[in-house]
Amino acid sequence: MKVNSAISIFVGIVLGFGALGLAFYFHETHPETSPYIRGAELAHEAGCYTCHGTSVDDPRVNFRLRDSAWRSTEIATMWEEEHSASSMRTWVTHGVPERKRQSHQQLLLQMPAYGDDGHLSPDEIEDVVAWALIVGLRGFQGYDNREEDMPELSVADVAELEEAELFMLGDRLSRQQGCYQCHGELGQGGPGNLASFKGYIPGFQGTDFLDLTNNGDPAEIRHWIEHGRGKAIESGLLGGLAAGYFDRQAIPMPGYRELLSDAEIELLVAYLQWLNTRGPLSGEDVEALAKSLDESI
Ligand code: HEC
Ligand code: HEC
């Protein structure tokens, strides 16, 4: 009897720890998403780039019926008009806004009404809207922040920046240094990364960022930017395990200590912390950021 109950207690403890371990593993490896990440996947599945080129340098063919003859034309990119979240939502939901319907019907290839036809749910459309507006900020919608010069800044200046300036300059420097190429536009989550712990490059918008930077600790963020790896994450119980993943992953983070001044690093630290407090960005959030950029550039 005694032996039996000792065995069941032992088995219970082992199962308990096993379940905890599994829960921890799934929590740690569960992919983090954002409207931008989900929107990019949906846009891929929905074939947006099949009909729309990725930029004006990537034109797509169409035909328009005019005076009973088919004439060759090009399909506008997704950013030809200046889009708000609401105008983007209208196009994706109804295929074309009412005021343009008649002219649109003269086209050989027409924009699908993804919402009205039930191919995308309202939530999915919100994700596509956020994705499209964020991609539009890469210069397609007229705010080409990357092309602007960085002003001379001191470390003390960075602490004095107002929110709109912090966004404008942080965004500009991130574009000029290629941070978004790996971490996603506006740090909303990056592409796949073979043999990395979670299988992709994390963004700056959510809990991945907090996990990797000791809860947004400025010294830790600075260490990542200067050396391309974290410090706290590599110490302690799980440190050795984490370090192994950093060494094996296909795309490692480069160190920027020789490329950036102290003030520029300080600016990026403040910008990333600020971006993280905004969380994953919705279409409306991006519209507001685009407006603040338009007013401050
Ligand atoms: C079958 C082809 C096709 C597909 C697929 C398609 N579109 Fe379109 N879309 C069009 C056409 C045609 C127009 C009208 C362009 C014009 O007037 O030249 C258009 C117009 C638009 C516009 C307005 C154009 C502008 O000037 O800004 C937006 C925004 C847009 N589409 C977004 C999307 C998104 C997002 C997706 C994917 C969810 C998508 N489209 C998929 C054909 C397509
Ligand atoms: C070539 C791709 C690449 C570029 C360019 C890049 N990073 Fe990274 N970054 C990574 C990878 C990979 C990681 C590690 C993620 C991991 O190991 O889980 C990382 C991690 C980080 C982290 C830790 C927290 C988090 O959310 O990822 C910060 C902070 C960071 N990078 C900031 C930047 C900044 C700022 C820039 C531009 C100055 C930049 N990175 C440019 C690939 C890149």
Same domain, 278 and 223: yes
- The two tokens of residue 124 are 């999915």
Q: How confident is the prediction for the chain on average, in pLDDT?
A: 92
Structural domain includes residue 108: yes
Percent of the chain with pLDDT over 90: 79
pLDDT tens across 140-199, in order?
Answer: 888 899 999 999 999 999 999 999 999 999 999 999 999 999 999 999 999 999 999 899
What does the pLDDT read at residue 42?
98
Farthest-apart Cα atoms in the chain, separation:
95
CATH number at residue 40: 1.10.760
Structural domain includes residue 141: no
Q: How far is CA 103 from CA 66, 71, 91, 106, 115, in A?
A: 10, 14, 14, 6, 21
Same domain, 150 and 270: yes
Same domain, 90 and 153: no
What does the pLDDT read at residue 142?
83
Structural domain includes residue 152: yes
- Mutating to test ligand 2, I would choose from 33, 253, 268 the residue with most ligand atoms within 8 A of its C-beta, which is 253
Same domain, 157 and 268: yes
Ligand nearest to the CA of 78: 1
State which ligand 1 atom lies nearest to the alpha carbon of 100: 17
Same domain, 273 and 175: yes
Same domain, 114 and 184: no
Query: Would you say the CB of residue 75 lies under 6 angstroms from ligand 1?
Result: yes
Residues whose CB is less than 8 angstroms from the CB of residue 72 and which lie 6 or more positions away in sequence, other chains included? 61, 62, 63
Which residues span the domain enclosing 66?
35-134
Residue ending a domain, among 84, 105, 134, is 134
- The two tokens of residue 173 are 């420097």
Query: Would you say the CB of residue 213 lies under 6 angstroms from ligand 2?
Result: yes
State which ligand 2 atom lies nearest to the alpha carbon of 178: 5
Q: Give 193 Cα–ligand 2 centroid separation in angstroms.
A: 12
Q: Give 192 Cα–ligand 1 centroid separation in angstroms.
A: 27
State which ligand 2 atom lies nearest to the alpha carbon of 256: 38
Same domain, 177 and 86: no
CATH number at residue 282: 1.10.760.10
How many Cα neighbours within 13 Å face the side chain of 89? 14
Q: Are 210 and 276 in contact (CB under 8 A)?
A: yes
pLDDT range class, residue 239, cuts 50, 70, 90: confident
Q: Indicate which residue's Cα is closest to atom 30 of ligand 1.
A: 78
Number of independent structural domains in the chain: 2
Same domain, 70 and 161: no
- Which of 29-43, 148-162, 228-242, 263-277 is predicted with the least confidence, judged by mean pLDDT? 228-242
Q: Give 172 Cα–ligand 1 centroid separation in angstroms.
A: 29
Residue ending a domain, among 134, 161, 188, is 134
For the cut 80, the answer to whether the pLDDT of residue 237 exceeds it is no
Q: Indicate which residue's Cα is closest to atom 8 of ligand 1.
A: 111
Q: Give 67 Cα–ligand 2 centroid separation in angstroms.
A: 55
Beta carbons within 10 angstroms of residue 8's beta carbon: 10
pLDDT tens across 43-97, in order?
Answer: 999 999 999 999 989 999 999 999 999 999 999 999 999 999 999 999 999 999 9
Q: Give 15 Cα–ligand 2 centroid separation in angstroms.
A: 37
For the cut 70, the answer to whether the pLDDT of residue 26 exceeds it is no
Structural domain includes residue 113: yes
Ligand nearest to the CA of 74: 1
What does the pLDDT read at residue 24?
56
Same domain, 160 and 277: yes
Same domain, 65 and 179: no
Same domain, 125 and 166: no
Structural domain includes residue 271: yes
Residue ending a domain, among 82, 106, 134, is 134
Q: Indicate which residue's Cα is closest to atom 34 of ligand 1.
A: 48
Structural domain includes residue 18: no
